[in-house]
Structure formats: structure tokens, C-alpha cells
Amino acid sequence: MTEKIKKDDVVGVVGLLVHAAKIDEKYTDDEKKMLKKFIKSLEIKNSDEIDQILMDAEKLEENSNQLLEFTNIIKKKDVEFKSTVIKELWKIIISDDKLDEYETNLMRRICGLIYFPDKLSAEIKLQLMNK
């Protein structure tokens, strides 16, 4: 990733990932592991700090009723960062091998809010599904 993200913003981005993980009403330990791995990929290596960010993000997601809160951070970033976030979102969504209309609708809304091309999102999804 070329663009560095402030630690405060990490909580918001992870909050969006938590929201995606919870949209099918099954928030699993595997999804939490994926989220921790994503946090680690953002140059945060301390496991206590990773756990704290995840807890803060879960709390933020629980108390939020708008996607805008999460997407405003991402919208200002470069395409490479947006692509990384979209890839993580798709990983979480397809991790249970089921794709429902709520999940696909969420992805379309997120792409619109962060100005990310639907076509590129679909390509990322297909790459991940073919792995």
C-alpha cells in the first residue's frame, strides 16, 4: 500500500469491515481473524493494539447507523488503498461461501460512496472467488 493511514482512521475502516462481516448476521471467529490480519497489514504489529483497534471498531459499528461515517475516510484515499479495502470486504463477504443480496447491495453502496468503479469491484470479487 502506498498511502499510510492514521491509526485513528484505521478504526473507522475496520468498522466498515465489521459491518460487512455482520451483515449476514453471522460474525465468526474466522472473520475476526481476517480483520486482525488486515489491521496487521496496515503496519500495526502489536497484538494488544490490534485487539484494541478491533474492539473499538466493533463498538463504533455497533453505535453507528450510517455507512458515511466509515466511507468518508476511505473516499479521500488513493485508488490502491480503496482497492485494498474493497478486496478485504469481498474476502469477508465470500468467506462463508454464500453471497446474498444484502451483501452485494452493501458492496454496491460502498463503491458508490468511495467513488470506486463497480467493474473493478466485480473483477476483484471474481479473482477471489476463483482462488
What is the grid cell recorded at 35? 480483520
Residues of the chain with pLDDT under 50: 1-2
CATH number for 7-129 (one of 1.10.3720.10, 3.40.50.1970, 1.10.3680.10, 3.10.450.50): it is: 1.10.3680.10
Contact 89, 114 (CB under 8 A): no
Query: Would you call 6 helix, strand, or coil by DSSP?
Result: coil
pLDDT of residue 39: 95
Spell out the alpha helix ranges (H) of the chain: 7-22, 29-41, 47-62, 68-75, 79-94, 101-113, 118-129
Domain positions in the chain are 7-129
pLDDT of the residue at 126: 95
